[in-house]
Amino acid sequence: MSPSLSSGEILRERYVVREQIGQGGTGNIYLADDVRLQGRLCALKEVEHNQALPPEVFAQAREQFFREASVLARLDHPNLPKVSDFFSEGPRDYLVMDYVPGKDLRQMMQDARRNNTFLSEAEVLRWAKQIADALDYLHHQDPPIVHRDIKPSNIKITPSGLVKLVDFGLVKIMAPGEVTITVIQGQGTALYTPLEQYGGDDTHTDAKADIFSFGATLYHLLTNEPPAEARKRFLNSRSLTPPIDINPRLSRHVEKAVLWAMSLHPDDRPADVNAFREALFGYVDAPIQLQVDRYGFEVPRFSAFSVEQIAGYVAFGLFLMGLIATVIR
């Protein structure tokens, strides 16, 4: 996506653009100076709507942006960047957030890979605790907030070691009973996206989508290998390599917790972030069994299913097959 703003451009007579520093699920991200607060750097998160939207849908999309931005501006958590302003300029909307210095986890993972080593499990778990704290805070808002784009490049480590979960580009406010318009184009990053998030139908997305993406992110951080996409796993259950096969130093309970979070069916994932955190740190046992199949490697396997679970899987499978067929046309 080419930059829509150039260096030196001023927005709202306040924000002076320095440079483009990233690209999110909805548009570019810029580093800017806040001229009203001398010395303050901020990040401008651009939200570019689909230009093909009918005027009435575009108006609804913009209304939803302002509604969601006002919710984000009220958030206050040490592991989340503070949203300080939001506005529109022409066809684009902007969120103004604290600029978070430091490396993101994708960069740190690449550094480890270049050194032919893995990020240490202890260090990844320290980060995971802070990520879990941020997600637990978001999911317990009223209404709950789902991030929907958790991945290594959206998690930054400040020079002081504080984790920041950034890029609210695909965030969803879970207003009960509300028909949600798809304001943001895209469904997250494929490697970390659960099946139910494909197709742009928000009615099937809840906090368990973040748990899947969180688990997939940890899989990548602990193995230096990207996880198989959920669509591929749905068609071939053996396409996901067990983490310990890649990184033999991993603890068994960590592997089980990560695979539990990455379960394809939402009902098979942890009930909430706290349940996942407890399994990740070994306080409880993840309800997933690993067994060696005839090919010689371990695959996740759950205990026997009830009739209701089997019926649910069949219905969910039929829905996903139709969804996948639509996506790959």
Provide the annotated active-site residues. Answer: 149
User: DSSP letter at 260?
Assistant: H
242 cis-preceded (ω within 30 degrees of 0)? no
Q: How far apart are CA 63 and CA 183, in angstroms?
A: 9
What is the distance between the alpha carbons of residues 243 and 227, in angstroms, rounded to a whole number? Answer: 9
Ordered strands of the 92-98 beta sheet: 10-11, 15-23, 28-34, 40-48, 92-98, 83-89
Under a CB-based contact definition with an 8 Å cutoff, are residues 187 and 198 in contact? yes
Torsion of CA 2, 4, 8, 13, to 10 degrees: -160
Q: Are 214 and 277 in contact (CB under 8 A)?
A: no
State the first-to-last Cα distance of the chain, in angstroms, to the nearest integer: 24
Name 82's Cβ contacts closer than 8 Å, sequence gap at least 6.
75, 76, 97, 98
Q: Distance between CA 294 and CA 217 in Å, rounded?
A: 29
- Which of 174, 189, 164 shows the shortest CA–CA distance to 43? 164
Per-residue 3-state assignment (H helix, E strand, C coil) for 305-327: CCHHHHHHHHHHHHHHHHHHHHH
163 in Cβ contact with 157 (< 8 Å): yes
User: Residue 78 is which amino acid?
Assistant: P
Q: Which two tokens stand for residue 150?
A: 């958790």
